[in-house]
Structure formats: structure tokens, C-alpha cells
């Protein structure tokens, strides 16, 4: 489907993506990450050398960035409800040690640790890493919990002190959560909406490139882009492609049929480069990867919300291939259209494009063929 280089690149980027469920607290980790809350209410703590900033991620389309090297831990303050978050993360380093994850301090030489803490290694090992006896006693619990551990109500109360709510309009620090739908959509009609958040409009994005949303919401960070999108039943996100971004798409709610087209890998140099269609039926929590420059569409087979991360998205352009506005085909000169589409005149091509009065979103069923059938969920198919 993809050549080996693209396969490897997509696989490496997928490692940065994860969905986490938490009923308690995650252990401290050192990372650069983009959090988007999926369900529940989250208490996030950002630890600095001289301070700690606690914030609540409230229900709604709130997101939180953490800068590279920030120590962060996440708490679910409500034991009655699961907390679900979606993150795009660079590999984490953990401060504490569990069965599933070693502390980054644990890999330093014994003499380095002794010099750093002015203590015997046995004491350092006992206090920070648990020691052999404690590790054996906790092995069963740690295997079950990994980097997520359970805490008491009193511990939650202590951790919640000074925490600010993301729904408050008074907070404005660059480290604080922000609402992905705080501005008007850049694309909108009765089938869907597409929001875009930029550093100019949201200073807390800092070095983020841009952020887009589609009845959804999208955000870009450094070289990464995040979408949060919603479509009504029967809505079609029109064919388009991203010039640079690899899209990692996650279904939040509902079901969708996705199609994209790409070049089939050539087995021999003399083979004709065959364009193939790839199609998949997706439902909640399914993940789908769309390579850069591959045109694709999203057909909402129910009311749909999805989140998408765009990786390597710096200077990315979104190019629509259908619709009345922002259609890249419309910008091609008539003389070139005559040469590129010899079966029809340039006038015919322009007339065909103008037949679609909607832009960005449209009815997935052609006017001539109302009805159709709902696709069944299944593996990726090709044609």
C-alpha cells in the first residue's frame, strides 16, 4: 500500500499517538504532549523548577499543551466516571518506577546517583525505586496499574488545591487550557463546521502552527496539527488532500465511511503507476492513518465527531478538489485545462465544478441517487 519508507514513517508517528483511560492518577512523566479531553473531567498538574500549575480540563472541547521537558501528572477527581483523553506525545520519561516503566533516574550509574543525592545507593534504591523487597511486594499491583495508580479522596483534595477551571474566561497564561471552539468556524454550512485556531488568535498556542476544527476542532503544534470535527448524518467532507501532513484520525462518536486514493507500489520499474482506492468503515475509537498528499473524503454514516492529528504539518496546505470555494482545480488556467482534460473542453470542466454549489461539506447522496445503503464496519478494502 505504501512504500517501505512511508510505512516506516507512518509507524513511527503512530507511536506518538495514544488513547488513555484513567480512574485515578498517572505517575509523573517528562514529555512534550498535546492533551484533548474525550470524557470526564481532568486535573492536570504542570511541574516547574520553582512552582506547580494545576488546571482542570472541563467537559467540552478543551485542550492543553505541555512544553518539551515538562513534568506532568494527570488526575481523575471523580471515581464514579472514567476519564478518557487523547494525546499526541513524544516518548515519555517517567520520574517514578513501576513494573511497566522504569524511572529515568534508575539508569544512571550508582556512583553518579550517590554523588547527586549524597547518600548510599541502597538508600536511594529503597526510596526512589522501591528496592528489591518492595518491588516483589508490589509486583502484582504494579502489573495491574502500570503508570496509573489509585489515590484516596483526601489525596485528590490536596492535589486539587489552586487548580483553575478551563471554563473560566479570566485565565490567559500560555500554559493554560483553551477551548478549541472559541472562534467562529472558517468553513460552515448546514452539514458541518470547520474551526481553525491560530497563534494570532490564541497566544497560548505559542509555537503551534495552527489549529483546525470541523464540527470538530483542529489544532497544530510545532510540526503537528490537531483536528476536532463533527458532521451530521449523511454529511460528506468533500474530497481534499493535505500537502504535507500525515493525518491520524480517531472516531470519537458515531460511524463513518472513509475513502482515500493513492498510488499502488510498483513491483517493477516498467509497470504503470496504478491509482487505487482504499475504503474503511469506522466506529468509535477506531484509528485511521491517511498519508500526506492522498486525497480523501469522510462520509458520516451517523452523527459523527472525530479527532485528527496532523503530523509533519508545518506549512501544510489543505487543497479541496470539489466544491464551489477554495477548489484548487478552479485555479488552473483554461489553456492547461484543455490539455489536461482532452475529453472535454475547459468550459465543460468549469461547468462541472460549478454544479456543486456547496463548499467543504455536502450531502453524501447525489441528488440523482437518493437512498443508498449504510456500509458495514470492516477491514480496509482496496479497489
pLDDT tens digits, one per residue of 336-375: 888 887 777 788 888 888 877 788 898 888 765 555 445 5
What CA–CA distance (Å, rounded) separates 72 from 323?
44
What CA–CA distance (Å, rounded) separates 61 from 314?
23
Locate 293 and state its grid cell: 498528499
180-366: same fold as 16-165?
Answer: yes
**Cβ–Cβ < 8 Å for 170, 344:** no
Q: Which residues, listed in sequence order, are joined to residue 240 by a DSSP beta bridge?
A: 296, 320
- What pLDDT is stored for residue 175 in this prediction? 55
Q: What is the domain partition of the chain in residue ranges?
A: 16-165, 180-366
- What pLDDT is stored for residue 229 in this prediction? 76
Q: Is 351 left (phi over 0), alpha (psi -120 to 50) or beta?
A: alpha
16-165 belongs to which homologous superfamily? Jelly Rolls (2.60.120.10)
CA 28 → CA 49, 102, 103, distances in Å? 14, 12, 10
More confident of the two residues 250 and 145: 250
Per-residue pLDDT band at 281 (split at 50, 70, 90): very high
Characterize the bridge pairing of strands 287-290 and 378-382. Answer: unpaired
Range name among 206-210, 232-236, 338-342, 354-358 with the lowest pLDDT average: 206-210
For 104-152, what is each residue's pLDDT tens digit? 677 778 888 787 778 888 888 877 777 665 555 545 444 444 456 677 7
Burial label, 240 (beta-carbon count in 10 A; 0-12, 13-18, 19+): buried
What CA–CA distance (Å, rounded) separates 48 from 215?
35
Q: Does domain 180-366 have CATH number 2.60.120.380?
A: no
- What pLDDT is stored for residue 255 in this prediction? 92
Between the ranges 19-23, 156-160, 299-303, 306-310, where is the mean pLDDT highest?
299-303
- What pLDDT is stored for residue 217 in this prediction? 29
CA 49 → CA 42, 69, 93, 286, 356, distances in Å? 23, 11, 17, 39, 57
Amino acid at each position: 500500500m505504501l512504500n517501505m519508507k512511508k510505512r516506516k514513517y507512518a509507524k513511527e508517528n503512530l507511536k506518538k499517538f495514544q488513547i488513555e483511560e484513567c480512574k485515578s492518577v498517572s505517575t509523573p512523566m517528562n514529555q512534550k504532549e498535546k492533551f484533548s479531553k474525550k470524557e470526564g473531567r481532568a486535573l492536570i498538574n504542570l511541574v516547574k523548577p520553582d512552582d506547580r500549575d494545576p488546571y482542570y480540563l472541563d467537559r467540552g472541547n478543551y485542550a492543553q499543551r505541555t512544553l518539551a521537558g515538562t513534568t506532568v501528572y494527570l488526575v481523575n477527581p471523580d471515581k464514579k466516571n472514567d476519564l478518557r483523553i487523547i494525546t499526541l506525545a513524544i516518548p515519555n520519561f517517567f520520574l517514578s518506577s513501576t513494573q511497566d516503566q522504569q524511572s529515568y533516574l534508575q539508569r544512571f550509574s550508582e556512583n553518579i546517583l550517590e554523588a547527586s543525592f549524597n547518600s548510599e545507593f541502597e538508600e536511594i534504591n529503597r526510596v526512589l525505586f522501591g528496592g528489591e523487597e518492595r518491588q516483589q511486594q508490589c509486583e502484582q499491583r504494579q502489573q495491574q496499574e502500570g503508570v496509573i495508580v489509585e489515590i484516596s479522596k483526601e489525596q485528590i483534595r490536596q492535589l486539587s488545591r489552586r487548580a483553575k477551571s478551563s471554563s473560566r474566561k479570566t485565565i490567559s497564561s500560555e500554559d493554560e487550557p483553551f477551548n478549541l471552539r472559541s472562534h467562529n468556524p472558517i468553513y460552515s454550512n448546514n452539514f458541518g463546521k470547520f474551526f481553525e485556531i491560530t497563534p494570532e488568535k490564541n497566544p497560548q498556542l505559542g509555537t503551534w502552527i495552527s489549529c483546525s476544527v470541523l464540527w470538530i476542532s483542529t489544532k497544530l503544534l510545532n510540526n503537528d496539527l490537531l483536528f476536532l470535527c463533527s458532521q451530521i448524518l449523511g454529511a460528506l467532507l468533500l474530497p481534499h488532500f493535505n500537502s504535507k501532513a500525515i493525518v491520524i484520525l480517531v472516531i470519537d462518536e458515531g460511524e463513518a465511511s472513509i475513502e482515500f486514493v493513492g498510488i499502488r507500489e510498483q513491483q517493477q520499474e516498467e509497470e504503470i503507476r496504478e491509482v487505487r482506492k482504499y475504503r474503511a468503515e469506522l466506529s468509535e475509537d477506531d484509528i485511521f492513518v491517511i498519508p500526506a498528499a492522498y486525497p480523501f473524503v469522510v462520509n458520516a454514516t451517523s452523527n459523527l465527531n472525530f479527532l485528527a492529528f496532523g503530523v509533519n504539518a508545518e506549512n501544510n496546505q489543505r487543497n479541496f478538489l470539489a466544491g464551489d470555494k477554495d477548489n484548487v482545480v478552479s485555479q488552473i488556467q483554461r489553456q492547461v485545462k484543455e490539455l489536461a482534460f482532452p475529453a472535454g473542453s475547459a468550459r465543460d470542466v468549469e461547468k462541472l465544478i460549478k454544479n456543486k454549489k456547496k463548499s467543504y461539506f455536502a450531502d453524501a447522496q447525489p441528488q440523482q441517487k437518493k437512498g443508498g445503503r449504510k456500509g458495514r464496519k470492516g477491514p480496509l478494502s482496496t479497489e
